[in-house]
Structure 1
Amino acid sequence: MAFKSVLSVTGADHSDKDVTIAAGLCAEGGANLSVLIMASPPLGGSIPEWPKRRAAAIARLEKRYRQIEKFSHDMAILEKTSRDIQKLLAALWTCYDVDTEYCDQASVGDAVRQRALCSDLTILGPALLNDIDLGPLVINGSLFDTGKPVLVVPKGAEATLSPRRVLVGWDSRVEASRAVREALDLLSGAEEVRVTLVDPEVTCTGNGTEPGADVAAYLTRHGARVSVDRLPSAGKPAATVLAQHAIDTSADMIVMGAYGSRRLRERLFGGVRRWIEAKPPLPLFLAR
């Protein structure tokens, strides 16, 4: 399945770097780009009971006034960001739409999910990756709540939807299978696909008697040029071994499953950030 509808989420106070990356990828693949600009309001919860004492009442009124001022300021920034991004996209790509969402943090996931459900791919750029408040919420809405894939593009990465060399992290789990299926067009068009297993166990079920052979055959049937690498961990985390192997084989992208329960979402986001920050930048294609 080709990526014909791409979602890019950005904060109202972010730079236009993430949108520029997403526009370039959409132009490369002839996809429509939907940009969602997000901001959180200062007002939240119910209006508290009016204080009985005059001084307390005045203090509460002044606080509410400052909140309303901030609300007006944030809305002005959101509208300006929207105009700037539309102007930018008009010069970069013709197939796009821009929307804004002003909601509290508890509603960010739902707002993103609504858009991601009708998109083929969500792109998480370096500015959003660096936003520890908004980033995890976008991951929640786009990856965990929809089952749709996410492309993480760290700072300095050469992002492309036509990678020449791709490393697939494989462990015979459902998440890895979904990642392979969602990335099938990328994999079948690549010059080289390296299915990589770390410490695979030979079993009658699970990995099978020849670990990696089954998924390699599947990809070959879809036109991919596949080789299988079985690597020892030597006591290192599997993610570290995969990242180093991607570097050693000059991979342009890593494809892997996203693991973790709903309660571990922020840990996943933090793990992705730490992994990318500690290694040479490579786009990371995730599916749940």
Structure 2
Amino acid sequence: MKRRTILYVITPETPDDQISQAAEAAATTDAHLMCLMLGAAPMLPMYAYGVPPYGGMNIPDNWTETVADAQVAQTNRVQAVEKLLAASNVSGDVQSTMCATLDVKHVVAQYARVSDEAFFAPSLREMPDFLREAASGILFHSPIAFRMNGAAAEKVDRVMIAWDSSSAAASAVHAALPYLKEASEVVIACIDPVAMTDRDGPEPGADVAAWLSHHGCHVTVSQFPSGGRDVGQCILDRAQENGSGLVVMGAYGHARMIQTVLGGTTRTMMDQKEQPVLFAH
């Protein structure tokens, strides 16, 4: 039996219908759905009294109860999600964690390393710090890609690749190959290409088009000038014009100890909520 594992990153507030939809999509493709529920650990409130260094710290008496209540609430939600998966007749499981923001990337990366692809639930946007760190865990600490926006059950008929001959873009194309093979049309969009041997080659996009055609993909190459506009917005405009159900692109930036720094185009594409996008680094 061959079965892909989809890492579905959710929160305790992710609606039942979104989870059921993802489960039904996984069942249709005979994939294993690993739901990773990220809960925010309660902040430890500490109150100082006196004058340092002779003062002290006071922890509220109900702190233990606060933590216990949060853990019980998340456990109950995990059990509810497990019932949803069972009702959908999908191969799946639920992993749960309550953590601080800075630990999210490591938790997500741990599960991403044993998955084939990740999909972020829309509810993750309501926790922007968690969203940023989850993206960091996938992009900089795992070998897979992640998708945002749209529904997991949607069939992708047209795909647009934001191609710039970089290793990140190449990683994204490799990760998206299952979608590209099933699409009726694949557009390789080169924004402001530089037709030089040491940049995008004498025919920008031609090399990746030839490779994809060997896989049976129906490919066209288009070059678009940005006109000085934001490249991310140009990608969105071209995707809308082409009716693309998915944009495939490399994510740029680098991981740091404290926070993730993403490039402007990557941030533009992550911030928008309409166009489905697959990112890889």
TM-score normalised over the length of structure 1: 0.85
Partner of 1:39: 39
Structure 1 residues 177 and 3, CA gap change in structure 2 (3 angstroms): farther
Kindly provide the amino acid, as one letter, of the partner of residue 101 in structure 1. Answer: T
Partner of 1:22: 22
Kindly provide the amino acid, as one letter, of the partner of residue 183 in structure 1. Answer: A
Unpaired runs of at least 5, structure 2: none
More helix by share: 1
Partner of 1:262: 255
Shift of 1:266: 5.4
Which of 112, 115, 121 is matched with 2:117 structurally? Answer: 121
Which of 88, 100, 124 is matched with 2:96 structurally? Answer: 100
Kindly provide the amino acid, as one letter, of the partner of residue 60 in structure 1. Answer: N
SS at match of 1:261: strand
Partner of 2:275: 282
Structure 1 residues 25 and 144, CA gap change in structure 2 (3 angstroms): farther
Partner of 1:132: 128
Q: Deviations over 1:83-125 (max 9, x none)?
A: 1101111112320011211233232221111111000011012
Asked if the contact 1:170–1:256 (Cα under 8 Å) also holds between the matched residues in 2, the reply is yes
Structure 1 residues 121 and 3, CA gap change in structure 2 (3 angstroms): farther
Structure 1 residues 18 and 146, CA gap change in structure 2 (3 angstroms): farther
Unpaired runs of at least 5, structure 1: none
Count how many residue pairs are aligned between Structure 1 and Structure 2: 273
Structure 1 residues 18 and 206, CA gap change in structure 2 (3 angstroms): farther
Separation in 1, partners of 2:204, 2:3: 30
More strand by share: 2
Kindly provide the amino acid, as one letter, of the partner of residue 12 in structure 2. Answer: A
SS at match of 2:211: helix
- Map 1:34-183 to 2 at 5 A: 34-42=34-42, 60-61=58-59, 63=60, 65-153=61-149, 157-160=150-153, 162-183=155-176
Asked if the contact 2:190–2:224 (Cα under 8 Å) also holds between the matched residues in 1, the reply is yes
Separation in 1, partners of 2:200, 2:48: 62
Q: State the percentage of identical aligned residues.
A: 28
SS at match of 2:197: coil
Shift of 1:32: 0.1
